């Protein structure tokens, strides 16, 4: 196969120096734009405001473009900030950072070919039908290509951007410092937990061999659940940087927003039940809440599960702790809730009573669907917004310094994403009925 000419795209800087240089260019561009705009306003007799100079459309677009070109940890950090702290950021920054969830730029053909040559060896083209260098999806740490092998397999090939794994810590630290220095992140916002989570999550997602093992494990766990489809793992074409899976079709799950109510309810019911199985039965959970990780086949009515990079194992005691906490919330037993929360690690006996009360209030809020007899209408509740407001208020209280166990953060991310999807689909389901079989002592 001849090397195709480069198509429009953006090479991923793979060296630490190259990635740092990109950040330097971004900082220089932002600073230069601020000086020009400030001088212009002074010449007009105006007193320039620093935040106004920073948050011009040109500056915010410049930051976003550079993060999208760098991909990897730099782009992931922008995604996490926009998803987890959006209510506390300037609206201009929220709007731009939100684009990072889907605006990754594809690698040019030559870089794709170099990555595949390094992982598959010389002559890799001989194993495939003509390879399409145009990705079918691009995200923060890799992009996906559809390919067919000479032996007839229809595959999705996920290719990791070069340099992502070794640049994780430095990328996250450098981008956070840059956003702080430019004032794009409020000084009152403590993003340290987000930075730590971004590093952990990226290190896990950047190991495609581990993701392949999770893919196989979920296929085994759901072998008797025909309502779900998990792509088959192809070990002969998989490495730490390349993941080969069977190609699956379907439509984005959020595109079912106009489907009949019964169909939307069924989709969310399947996902809620899967969450309970992951927590209480499997002890293994896919914790990335991105809607793109779910697709749906309207003909077969099957849910397609994608991207197992952020899969996390839970100890049996963790599931048991949440089982006890959920039962206490459903019973309205605040004393039992407090003890269960302490057992899980949300707080200890030295935590101020007002902080304990705030957390217990949030548990009750988050588990409202469990406490309602009959169907819970996700499309008619402001539960997610109330939870976010309460979480922000608690996070800004500097006296509340305790960070819960990391497992709880992953579970919260998954639960929050599921609630958002249920709200998007305006689902009405009986969550309590689904949960009861898993909450027996």
Which residues are known to be catalytic?
A: 288
In DSSP notation, 350-366 reads TS-HHHHHHHHHHHHHH
CA 156, distance to chain mean position in Å, is: 20
Give Cα separations from 120 to 132, 238, 242, 307, 385 (angstroms).
16, 9, 9, 22, 47
Dist CA 73 CA 77 (whole Å): 6
Burial of 353 (0-12, 13-18, 19+ CB in 10 A): exposed
Length of the chain: 441
- For the record, the structure tokens of 126 come out as 């001989």
Strand (E) or helix (H) holding 142: strand 142-148
CA 143, distance to chain mean position in Å, is: 15
Structure-token match 């197992």, residue found? 308
Q: Assign 300 to helix, strand or coil.
A: coil
Per-residue b or e along 417-426, where b marks 16 or more CB atoms closer than 10 Å to that residue's CB = bbbbbbbbbe
């Amino acid at each position: 196969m001849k090397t195709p000419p480069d198509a429009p795209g953006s090479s991923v800087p793979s060296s630490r120096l190259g990635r740092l240089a990109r950040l330097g260019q971004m900082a220089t561009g932002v600073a230069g734009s601020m000086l020009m705009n400030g001088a212009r306003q002074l010449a007009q007799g105006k007193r320039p405001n620093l935040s106004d100079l920073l948050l011009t459309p040109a500056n915010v677009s410049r930051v976003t473009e550079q993060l999208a070109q760098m991909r990897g940890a730099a782009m992931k950090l922008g995604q996490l900030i926009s998803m987890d702290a959006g209510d506390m950021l300037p609206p201009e920054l929220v709007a731009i950072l939100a684009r990072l969830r889907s605006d990754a730029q594809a690698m040019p053909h030559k870089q794709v070919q170099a990555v595949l040559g390094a992982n598959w060896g010389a002559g890799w083209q001989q194993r495939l039908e003509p390879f399409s260098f145009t990705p079918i999806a691009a995200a923060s740490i890799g992009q996906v290509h559809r390919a067919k092998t000479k032996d007839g397999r229809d595959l999705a090939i996920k290719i990791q951007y070069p340099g992502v794994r070794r640049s994780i810590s430095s990328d996250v630290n450098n981008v956070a410092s840059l956003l702080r220095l430019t004032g794009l992140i409020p000084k009152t916002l403590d993003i340290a937990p987000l930075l730590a989570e971004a590093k952990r999550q990226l290190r896990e997602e950047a190991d495609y061999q581990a993701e392949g093992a999770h893919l196989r494990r979920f296929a085994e766990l759901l072998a008797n659940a025909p309502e779900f489809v998990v792509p088959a793992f192809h070990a002969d074409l998989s490495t730490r940087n390349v993941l080969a899976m069977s190609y699956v079709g379907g439509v984005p799950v959020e595109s079912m927003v106009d489907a009949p109510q019964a169909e939307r309810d069924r989709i969310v019911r399947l996902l809620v039940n899967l969450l309970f199985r992951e927590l209480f039965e499997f002890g293994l959970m896919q914790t990335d809440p991105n809607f793109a990780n779910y697709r749906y086949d309207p003909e077969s009515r099957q849910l397609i599960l994608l991207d197992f990079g952020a899969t996390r194992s839970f100890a049996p005691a963790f599931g048991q702790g949440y089982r006890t906490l959920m039962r206490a919330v459903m019973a309205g037993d605040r004393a039992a809730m407090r003890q269960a929360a302490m057992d899980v690690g949300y707080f200890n006996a030295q935590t101020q009573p007002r902080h304990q009360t705030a957390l217990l209030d949030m548990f009750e809020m988050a588990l409202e669907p469990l406490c309602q007899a009959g169907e819970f209408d996700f499309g008619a509740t402001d539960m997610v917004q109330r939870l976010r407001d309460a979480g922000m208020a608690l996070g800004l209280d500097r006296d509340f310094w305790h960070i819960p166990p990391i497992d709880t953060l992953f579970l919260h991310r998954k639960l929050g994403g599921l609630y958002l999807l249920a709200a998007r689909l305006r689902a009405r389901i009986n969550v309590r009925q689904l949960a009861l079989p898993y909450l027996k002592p």
